[in-house]
Amino acid sequence: MKPLNENLDGPGGNRLPWPSEFGSERPSGKVIAGLVVIALAVPLFASTCWSAIQNHQWSVAFFGAAGTFGSLVFAVLGLSILRRRRSRIPDAIRLETIDAVPGQTIPARKSTLIALLCFASVAVLVAASRLILLLGNGLSDHAGRNIFSSLTMIVLLLAGLWLLAVGVSVASTPRGLRLTTEGLEFRNGFVHQRLPWSAVAVVRPVIVSRNPAIRVLPTDPSTLSLEFTSRLKQRTGLDCIVIPPSVYGIDPALLYYTIDFYARHPESRSELASDAAVQRMRRGDVLG
């Protein structure tokens, strides 16, 4: 990872102004409290699992292990939410020419997708194993409670299988953001959107699901090219491009100002075909 500018206030000191539309630079107290609760759940589930193993309660031990793993995954993912501002740009940014169009590609991070697949796998394993135990022991004893538990496990199993299907579908398609000499390209695993620079009406900093996002509105919805890349078709947010910076591990303000800069400066778009664009981002020279 390389600092934006090593000449201003030391390495990484050149942080661009934070748009007020992004909300606070720091996560809210509710988010922090939620992450603390999740973090505390890790040792609680772990102790439950260990105690159950010592008492040979294998069903409880399995649930404890699943809870430990799930809580740990969410706790690790939550740490990325706490860090909204970033003083360095991702090393993964690369210059690519696709379909004879050069541009800068920012691939999406895989951590969230991996966590989704892990969580779904755990849900499927827990539900399937518990369902097998219930059916193996029969439903005659405590019939009402066992039937309810079986139905709950069936719902959990179906939900886990659905999440796995979503994760596999998304993982099988390219995900990322491209800033090319011709325009923007956005792939989120469900849809591939393309918008020429000349058709960009406005670039807005917004909040989506309590996180900073960048909304790129076209002058005319018909100029926004759509191509569905998954059988699970996206139904909303198709009239504009909504970019979540956290998915790319890049400072939200830097990404917003960079997209806005090239939308307003056609004379500088040729930089996107060379390393000059990354050098501009590193300098933070995207406010003019």
Global pTM exceeds 0.85 = no
Residue 2 has pLDDT above 50, yes or no: no
Q: Which pLDDT score is estimated for 137?
A: 62
Residue-wise pLDDT for 81-127, tens only, equals 677 888 788 888 999 998 899 999 999 887 767 777 777 777 777 77
Is 235 in a helix, a strand, or coil? coil
Same domain, 165 and 192: no
Same domain, 76 and 192: no
Q: Is residue 103 part of a domain?
A: no
* Structural domain range at position 179: 174-283
Same domain, 115 and 48: yes
Q: Is residue 41 part of a domain?
A: yes
Rounded Cα distance, 94 and 86, in Å: 19
Q: Kindly state the tokens that stand for 168.
A: 């596999």
Q: Which pLDDT score is estimated for 58?
A: 72
Q: Which pLDDT score is estimated for 39?
A: 85
Same domain, 68 and 211: no
Average confidence score pLDDT of the chain? 81
- Tokens 């997708």, located at residue: 113
Same domain, 181 and 279: yes
